Copies of this chain bind each other. A is one copy, B any other.
Amino acid sequence: MLDIEKYLKETKKEIEEYMSSFFPPDMVPHPLGEAMRYALLNGGKRVRAILAITIGRGLQGQDSNILPFAAALEMIHAYSLVHDDLPAMDNDDYRRGQLTTHKKFGEAMGILTGDALLTHAFWVIAGRTQEPTIIPDLVRILALDAGIEGMVAGQVADVLAERQKKANEILKPQSTDAELLEYIHRNKTMALILAACEGGAVTALATKEVREQIAEYGRKIGLAFQIVDDVLDVEGTEQAMGKKVHKDSALGKLTYPGLWGLEKSKAIAAQLLAEACQIVAHLPCAEHLAALARFIVARTY
């Protein structure tokens, strides 16, 4: 039986050690390397990297192809948090109990540190992946899912929704609040988790069929992940989460619990979890993928 807590801890340590050589503290110009390390190596759960690593290894991929992509995912995730926390965005002073990057290094450095992490993520893929034929696919997946057909698109919609723009102004003339909520979640959070899964399959040179199954698993757990985030924002305590909670509702943000209630939100997440496990049940890494999915949905922080 898989010890998921141990597995998560060890895999997290592995990816963090791999990334920690990227930006030496004495990197010129000061303090860019220090700020990039601060933003990147700050105690995140590494869900995206662990998904990519689990899938890549589970499908018999090589670490020399898997780890660069896993690191790129974490760099993109880290940049998005740094930019999200900026005063013009969510204006957060703390993340995971520590000062946010712009509070520690100044706002200009916050913007530039995010830009540097985003840009370098693509270098890591193109510069460190051993098998050159998969590089175009990995870049395409990451650039779309982190960009205008994914994370940035979701962020834009989220920011505008917070500022009282209506669904029919942000999306299409006939769009509803429920559609906007799903659009935001699908793009803001799910897209990068999908990228982690699909890219993980690519690093193992998976067949098109397996790649599509893994992608579908990714879509389902990605959406479940965001629903659980929303639920935790209502149920969690500030101490357990290391950041402000009840913030979403205070800001009048669209959330699943706000729209459908807590119980129905939890039921949807559980249903997505079951479906995700079902899709990958025949793959060699099924046990790990099911455990990861359960961890994502059951987490309390």
- A-side residues, CB < 8 A to B, are 23, 27-30, 32-33, 36, 79, 83, 86-89, 106-112, 114-116, 118-120, 122-123, 125-127, 129, 132-133, 135-137, 139-140, 142-144, 146-148, 152-153, 155-157, 159-160, 169-172, 183
Please state if A88 and B107 are interface contacts (CB–CB under 8 Å). Answer: yes
Q: Given A28-B171, A171-B28, are A120 and B136 neighbors across the interface (CB < 8 Å)?
A: no
Instruction: Tell me if A109 and B159 are in contact (CB < 8 A).
Output: yes
A145 to chain B, nearest CB (A): 10
A129 to chain B, nearest CB (A): 8
Number of copies: 2
Residue from B88, B125, B153 within 8 A of A111 (CB atoms):
B88
Contact B88 A30 (CB under 8 A): no
Q: B156 contacts A29, CB within 8 Å? A: yes
**Contact between chains at A126 and B140 (CB < 8 Å):** yes
What is the bound-complex CA distance between A181 and B109, given in angstroms? 19
Is there contact, CB below 8 Å, between B132 and A136?
A: yes
CA of A135 to CA of B277, assembled, Å: 35
A148 touches which one: B27, B126, B140 (CB < 8 A)?
A: B27
Q: Which of B23, B119, B137, B139 contacts A146 (CB under 8 A)? A: B119
* Contact across chains for A123 and B147 when beta carbons are under 8 A apart: yes
Q: Which B residues are in CB contact (< 8 Å) with A106?
A: 88
Whether B89 pairs with A111 at a CB distance below 8 angstroms is yes
Residues of B near A33 (CB, < 8 A) are 148
A120 near B148: Cβ-Cβ < 8 Å:
yes
Q: Which residue on chain B has the smallest CB distance to residue A29? A: B157
Give the shortest distance, in Å, between A39 (CB) and chain B (any CB). 13
Once the chains are docked, how many angstroms separate the CA of A200 from the CA of B156?
33
A32: contacting residue among B118, B122, B148, CB under 8 A: B148
Please report the C-alpha to C-alpha distance between residue A159 and residue B156 in the assembled complex, in whole angstroms.
27
Complex contacts, A126 vs chain B, CB 8 Å = 135-137, 139-140, 143
Please indicate the chain B residues that have their CB under 8 angstroms from the CB of A36 in the complex: 148
Query: Would you call A108 and B135 a contact (CB within 8 A)?
Result: no
A83 and B111 in contact (CB under 8 A), knowing A27-B148, A126-B143, A147-B120? yes
Q: A241 CB to closest chain B CB, in angstroms?
A: 24
